[in-house]
Structure 1
């Protein structure tokens, strides 16, 4: 059963939860990317944290001993929120036992450490929670798919895009001194990976949060230094809003699909677009799909699109209605 929990004010908590029976006959609840329930109320058996972006509420869930996430997501949470992660961790690609249920993990390549969770219930139903997805090629087949649709509106032109790796490489090759505007968690690490992949071996200057995250999360990041600490012209990676603080002579670019920055934009996304999301579902072939996050109309639009092409699907805004009719 997929359902939405409520907080003490009677409002829906973020995202959703899954109630199921294990093969040992126990009824369990896994909450997905949500805030904690107060200790005086019954707790879920696990708070699954797919990754460390703030809209997935790891800042709250990380304080529970019932939290489960990847090792690198735990590191990212601790650096981002400056508090200790209290839960359990697992290496991506390995499994973890949660109250007798074997939960498998798979990479989805959204951020460093982002994780999809997979398990089987008492009657063999295969359940997959993806979180945000950038690359679905390693995700397993399942019967119930619980996935996101940040860019799942097939009628919205902004939901169709491709990463412009060529533009990123050209900016790197055409400028001796340049800076990329990239969010501290996610895009900053992607920028460093691309630069090293293109053969750049020099130092990369970063603002402090980006620096701490990249040093801890990337295994082959090369020389990373604080802003201003390089002895020669180097490449900088800073949050987009900090580009204006850098010297005027530095060539500046923003890694984004948005068009409202004053600097040239290079399309680099951490998500699948509408085509990629559809192809993911077509490849996984679930019997039932639940689309959650973000707020707004895109989950409903993507669920509607899936129904039009022959898949049984609902969006998070429909979950409460579905439950009231005992449909799930």
Structure 2
């Protein structure tokens, strides 16, 4: 099925911006009615076509908020905006909203929904002049708050149905055992570190948690009341949450990386911020779109998820298959 066949009746055209090398810029933009929205992408250079809004679903670097955050057309949750400021040491120049709130872009109401991926992560939803309901999810851990839609623009971090690594369950039991034993956990400073702290407190542990500087700053800002915390090097216990790159600097008998990756020299405990393949398919079934555009990441997994959805009878393409550019 061609791109025109999928989107023509919906009155929506997906685009990718070309950079100076001729390669496509990250992710995509959607043109509909009189609007152009750029989704999780870097800023357009001066002199080129400018969008009405840069929709930033969350503050992870592969969603390009570092670039978009200095545009007055940036749109992000309050927590995402603050996380971007802490992570990148620059002022967020766009507009913000509370998670679950709405915001006007020109005369169009854009409603937001929590996705549970990181603190402040949201999906964006709106309805076009033709009555087409569009939902852009970003990355998703919990889809319970997401509404039904006609066009779903979503992730495929674990969307390849033929890759065994895309099917998993979080090892909460193993994580709890490691917490009880007093362990040091490697977790990305934004997102995974806060999930680890939330789980530690949910398990009933009230001990101080040692953290590296960036993880500590983000966690204190985004999880007020979840202390006590201390800098990892000053922590008197073995319970620490630091970035994976700092695990080797911490004196601890038990070290784990909270990841599904296999290229780090430490034992792993699976704690993911994403839905696995089965979860993604349950999400699609619940949302029941007429068409889907799989935009993150680019490459094999997005391609395979779009292919799988087509095999199930749904109109679907991946971001790599977008032909139009500007």
TM-score by length of 2: 0.93
Q: 1:223 and 2:228 equivalent? A: yes
SS of 2:35 mapped into structure 1: strand
The whole-number CA distance in structure 2 between the counterparts of 1:75 and 1:250 is 35
SS of 1:163 mapped into structure 2: coil
The whole-number CA distance in structure 2 between the counterparts of 1:220 and 1:114 is 20
SS of 2:57 mapped into structure 1: coil
Question: Segments of 4+ in structure 1 off by > 6 A?
Answer: none
The whole-number CA distance in structure 2 between the counterparts of 1:92 and 1:219 is 17
**Aligned twin of 1:147:** 154
SS of 1:97 mapped into structure 2: strand
Of 256, 263, 267, the match for 2:266: 263
Q: 1:65 and 2:72 equivalent? A: yes
**1:213-236 per-position Cα deviation (integer Å, ceiling 9, x unaligned):** 111111332211112333x32511
The whole-number CA distance in structure 1 between the counterparts of 2:75 and 2:183 is 39
**Aligned twin of 2:3:** none
Indicate conservation of the 8 Å contact 2:299/2:320, yes or no. Answer: no
**Aligned twin of 1:236:** 240
Cα offset, 1:39, TM superposition: 2.2
Of 241, 252, 255, the match for 2:255: 252
**Aligned twin of 2:205:** 200
Cα offset, 1:310, TM superposition: 1.7
Structure 2 unaligned residues grouped into runs of 5+: 1-12
Of 17, 35, 39, the match for 1:5: 17
Indicate conservation of the 8 Å contact 1:202/1:234, yes or no. Answer: no
Aligned residues: 313
SS of 1:269 mapped into structure 2: coil
The whole-number CA distance in structure 2 between the counterparts of 1:143 and 1:56 is 24
Q: 1:43 and 2:50 equivalent? A: yes
RMSD, matched Cα: 1.3
Cα offset, 1:38, TM superposition: 1.5
Q: Which moved more, 1:157-166 or 1:219-228?
A: 219-228
- 1:262/1:10 CA distance change after superposition, 3 Å: closer
The whole-number CA distance in structure 2 between the counterparts of 1:254 and 1:156 is 22
The whole-number CA distance in structure 2 between the counterparts of 1:172 and 1:123 is 53
TM-score by length of 1: 0.93
Structure 1 unaligned residues grouped into runs of 5+: 22-26
Q: 1:29 and 2:26 equivalent? A: no
Of 105, 110, 116, the match for 2:117: 110
Cα offset, 1:283, TM superposition: 0.9
Cα offset, 1:138, TM superposition: 0.8
Q: 1:20 and 2:24 equivalent? A: no
Indicate conservation of the 8 Å contact 1:186/1:270, yes or no. Answer: yes
Indicate conservation of the 8 Å contact 1:120/1:126, yes or no. Answer: yes
